[in-house]
């Protein structure tokens, strides 16, 4: 069953999706510019890749029903915060907070909520950094503030989350206990891997800086 829209609301539905798509484009552009600037100034690319998507009508309906809301257009806009979603994949955990700070400093982007599942992982072991932001979208005759959910995580975190999502989808959220336990243990392995890779990268940067200094002094 889809959203309950009358014939007169179809245009409104299309307009809402236009707004969310426009918001995604604006945030994506900000991310591209920040990444390019970081590459130019620091000779380092903190972002591996970026994914963006608009939530499907079926997923929106499912989420509204799950929380006991009628499947109306107004409820969709009011209660579903992740209709427009962007996922930023980084190499290291330090990049996550660096990117989050850079985005938060954008004057036309308002941070509504932050959920730090890196410092406070979910019970399943899930780790990621979530920002719910609002960005103004200007049409020909009006301006609307549109919500976008931004998830920032490392490559390792993303690999784990992708596998966990597939497993939970396969078992409709009721995976056998031993599989959930193994996933949880894998999440700890991912956390340890991220820590080791960050430590290794910091050591490489330190050695490189020392070599450059010695080169200049010689």
* Domain ranges (residues) in the chain: 7-156
For residue 91, the SS3 value is: coil
Closest CA to 13 of 81, 60, 65, 64: 60
- Is residue 89 within a helix (H) or strand (E), and if so which, with residue range? strand 84-90
Predicted pLDDT at 159: 95
What topology does CATH give the domain 7-156?
A: Beta Polymerase; domain 2 (3.30.460)
Residue 90, strand partner residues: 47, 154
pLDDT tens for residues 133-173?
999 999 888 888 999 999 999 999 999 999 998 998 888 77
Q: Which residue has the tokens 């932001």?
A: 133
Predicted pLDDT at 92: 94
The whole-chain average pLDDT of the chain stands at: 89
* Angle (CA) 31 33 35, round 5°: 70
More confident residue, 183 or 172: 183
Quote the tokens at residue 22.
Answer: 């426009």
pLDDT surpassing 70 at residue 3 = no
Predicted pLDDT at 4: 53
Judged by average pLDDT, the poorest of 56-65, 80-89, 109-118, 146-155 is: 56-65
Helices H / strands E in the chain, number of each = 6, 5
Predicted pLDDT at 129: 98
pTM, two decimals, is 0.88
DSSP state of 90: E
d(CA 104, CA 85): 16
Judged by average pLDDT, the poorest of 19-28, 85-94, 138-147, 206-215 is: 206-215
More confident residue, 16 or 215: 16
Closest CA to 81 of 60, 110, 58, 107: 60
pLDDT surpassing 80 at residue 11 = no
Predicted pLDDT at 95: 94
d(CA 115, CA 191): 18
- Is residue 47 within a helix (H) or strand (E), and if so which, with residue range? strand 47-54
pLDDT surpassing 70 at residue 7 = no
């Amino acid at each position: 069953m889809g959203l309950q829209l009358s014939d007169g609301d179809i245009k409104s539905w299309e307009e809402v999706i236009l707004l969310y798509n426009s918001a995604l484009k604006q945030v994506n552009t900000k991310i591209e510019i920040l990444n390019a600037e970081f590459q130019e100034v620091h000779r380092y690319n903190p972002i591996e890749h970026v994914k963006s998507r608009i939530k499907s009508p079926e997923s929106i309906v499912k989420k509204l029903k799950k929380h006991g809301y009628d499947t109306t257009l107004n409820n969709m806009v009011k209660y579903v915060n992740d209709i427009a979603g962007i996922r930023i994949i980084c190499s290291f955990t330090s990049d996550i907070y660096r990117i989050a700070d850079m985005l938060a400093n954008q004057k036309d982007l308002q941070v509504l909520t932050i959920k730090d599942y890196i410092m406070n992982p979910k019970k399943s072991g899930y780790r990621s950094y979530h920002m719910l932001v609002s960005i103004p979208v200007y049409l020909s005759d009006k301006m609307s503030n549109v919500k976008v959910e931004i998830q920032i995580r490392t490559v390792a975190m993303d690999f784990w989350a992708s596998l966990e999502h597939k497993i939970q989808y396969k078992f409709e959220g009721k995976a056998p206990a031993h599989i959930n336990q193994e996933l949880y243990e894998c999440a700890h392995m991912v956390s340890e891997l991220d820590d080791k890779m960050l430590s290794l990268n910091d050591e490489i940067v330190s050695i490189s800086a020392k070599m450059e200094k010695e080169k200049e002094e010689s």
